[in-house]
Structure formats: structure tokens, C-alpha cells
Amino acid sequence: MKVILISDNHGIKNEINMALKNNNFDFSVHLGDGMLEDGFIEKNFDFYVNGNNDCFGPFEKIVEIGNLKILLMHGHTKIEELYSNEKMFILATKLGVNAVFHGHTHIYKNEKINGIHIICPGSINFARGKEGNGYALVEIKK
């Protein structure tokens, strides 16, 4: 199964529309800071969470896709400096999830720590990392 992860578009739809149109996937996930109040996120994504600039969904959600139990979150409501690998691993272990998909940093991350996958797609419009703007396509084995 393929999952597309998009985050931090901050009110801009064009790149989201292109990513959703030009990729084959089974599930779509928005990880917050969509900043769109017209129902666009709810209509175009199977799963979504609020960012620090949103007001339409939960701040975090646990979902099961394929054989993974995944924590979806933007990340701004958790403990300070949550984005350290150690703290992400501790949170994932505490919640009993196999993976954490998050946004907020605008920096791409794809790491596996002691069996826990931690993925941030970065920002589709306003990247802060050297990888530039983007999104993630994640393949989950059944």
C-alpha cells in the first residue's frame, strides 16, 4: 500500500493538487498547517490532523494502515524539543505504535530507530531543509 504524506502548505493548494493528481496512492495523509477553511483538507485526505495554524481536526490520531499502527501528529502540542529521535522513540513506545508521521519542522526526515519509523515529509511549499519543498510517498507492506 502506498501512502502520500503532505504537510505545512500554509494556505496554498496548487502543489497539493499536483501531488495528489500525479501520484498513485491508497491513502492520503495531511499532517497539519493546511490553513484552508473551505473543507479542502477534509475532502481530499483520508486522514488529517491539526497544525498550530488549523482549527478543523484533532491534534493527533492513531491509525492502522496495513501492518502498521501509526501516530499522526503535527507535533506542536508535545513536549519541548519533541523532534529529537530519542523523544519520538519514547513517545511511540509509550503509545504502542510502529511509526510516527509528523509535520511542523518543515524539514524532511525518514529514520528508523529500534524498529520505530519516524517520517516527516517536510513542507510542500516552505521547506527549511536542504531537500527543498516536497512530500513523502511511503510504501507499507500488507
Tens digits of per-residue pLDDT, 3-42?
A: 999 999 998 999 999 999 999 999 999 999 998 877 899 9
Sequence-distant (6+) residues with CB within 8 A of 43 are none
Q: What does the pLDDT read at residue 96?
A: 97
Q: What does the pLDDT read at residue 45?
A: 96
DSSP 40: H
The one-letter amino acid code at 33 reads D
Q: Is the pLDDT of residue 43 over 90?
A: yes
Q: What is the mean pLDDT of the chain?
A: 89
Average pLDDT over residues 84-112: 90
Q: Is the pLDDT of residue 81 over 70?
A: no
Distance between CA atoms of residues 122 and 131, nearest Å: 9
Distance of CA 142 to the CA centre of its chain: 20
Q: What does the pLDDT read at residue 94?
A: 94
Local confidence band at 78 (pLDDT 50, 70, 90 cut-offs): low
Local confidence band at 79 (pLDDT 50, 70, 90 cut-offs): very low
Q: Buried b / exposed e across 63-79, counting CB within 10 Å, b at 16+? A: bebeebebbbbbbbebe
Q: Is the pLDDT of residue 122 over 90?
A: yes
Distance between CA atoms of residues 120 and 108, nearest Å: 5
